[in-house]
Amino acid sequence: MSAEFALVGPILAAMFAAATPLLFAALGEAVTEKSGVLNLGVEGMMLMGAVCGFAITVKTGSAPLGLLIAAGAGAAMGALFGVLTLLLLANQVATGLALTLFGVGLSALVGQGFVGIPLEGLPKLHIPVLSDLPVVGQAVFGQDLLVYLGIAAVPLVHLFLYRTRAGLVLRAVGENHHAAHALGYKVIRIRFLAVMFGGAMSGLGGAFLSMDYTPMWAENITAGRGWIALALVVFATWKPVRVMLGAWLFGGVTIAQLHVQGFGIDIPSQILSMLPYLATVLVLVLISRDVARIRLNAPACLGKLFHPDS
């Protein structure tokens, strides 16, 4: 086996790992937006999940408890957003931006005593025979539980949205909240739950970064992944399977910057560091050219405030 071919397995494994936080955050945001709520605070929710999950794991030594607290921290941030936008009718765009800034500052404050503390990271699964297969063994059968949980969440979210009555109601609320309210559905309650689910998923995505991907805490450890997840939702036209494919694409771009120079391609490291964000801008430019497609797939009431008496 050539040296280049031997690198394929580790590169694929790294790609799946790099895509996992994006997959969690984007799936959660897709459900949130399907309910008609635009939450731009994904970055802040990811940061709070990252710091809370890391801190609890360091203090207790229990990774499952850390993940649970991370999801709870993200859901709490989502609940705060829900109170401000769904109950107090604050502007969703401005509140989402404020939530990100709040998460950046609060996570730095909470995590100041944990900077530089090492963490073992989540254990990798080993499936006899399958994990030892060339190329695909390490990439597909040698990941940790969160990577598989993220992939498993894709069909579950798809089934919920398109094969259950609750998913139908949620999509109806996102398409026409006044009609859904007239039929007796609790629009605010449904959206509140969707926002909290999105927050919990973002919290898990952040926890994966601090507890496994780079098992340590550092300020702004998400490095803009929350914004990439937001772009990914639009890129995937709010479809869970496309969200997964898009996350793998962006994960591949992220890993490319680490391996391009290793293959002898002379590109300045600063440009390589910009690749994921350049890809995000390029994707947004390309999809913005097809306005009709975006309008066709986007929830009709996305970002619109709702009051039962209006």
- Residue 73 to residue 202: CA distance in whole angstroms: 9
Instruction: Give residue 74's identity as a one-letter amino acid code.
Output: G
Residue found under tokens 């300020």 = 219
DSSP string of 217-241, one letter each residue: B-TTTTTTHHHHHHHHHHHTTT-HH
Q: What is the CA radius of gyration of the chain?
A: 20
What secondary structure letter does DSSP report for 7? Answer: T
The one-digit pLDDT tens for each residue of the chain (310 residues) are 444 445 666 778 888 899 999 999 999 999 999 999 999 999 999 999 999 999 999 999 999 999 999 999 999 999 999 999 999 999 999 999 999 999 999 999 999 999 989 888 787 777 766 666 666 666 677 788 899 999 999 999 999 999 999 999 999 999 999 999 999 999 999 999 999 999 999 999 999 999 999 899 999 999 899 999 999 998 888 999 999 998 998 888 877 766 665 566 667 767 767 777 787 778 777 776 766 666 667 899 999 999 887 6
Sequence-separated (6 or more) residues with CB below 8 Å from residue 251: 15, 16, 17, 18, 19, 20, 22
- Residue 261 to residue 266: CA distance in whole angstroms: 6
Q: Which CATH class is domain 3-297?
A: mainly alpha
CB 300 within 8 A of CB 178: no
- For the chain, the domains span 3-297
- Residue 19 to residue 253: CA distance in whole angstroms: 10
pLDDT tens column, 224-273:
999 999 999 988 889 999 999 989 988 888 777 666 655 666 677 677 67
Torsion of the alpha carbons at 46, 54, 255 and 146, rounded to the nearest 10: -80
- Residue 237 to residue 234: CA distance in whole angstroms: 5
- Residue 196 to residue 245: CA distance in whole angstroms: 24
Q: Which residues pair with 115 in a beta bridge?
A: 217
pLDDT tens column, 133-171:
666 666 677 788 899 999 999 999 999 999 999 999 999
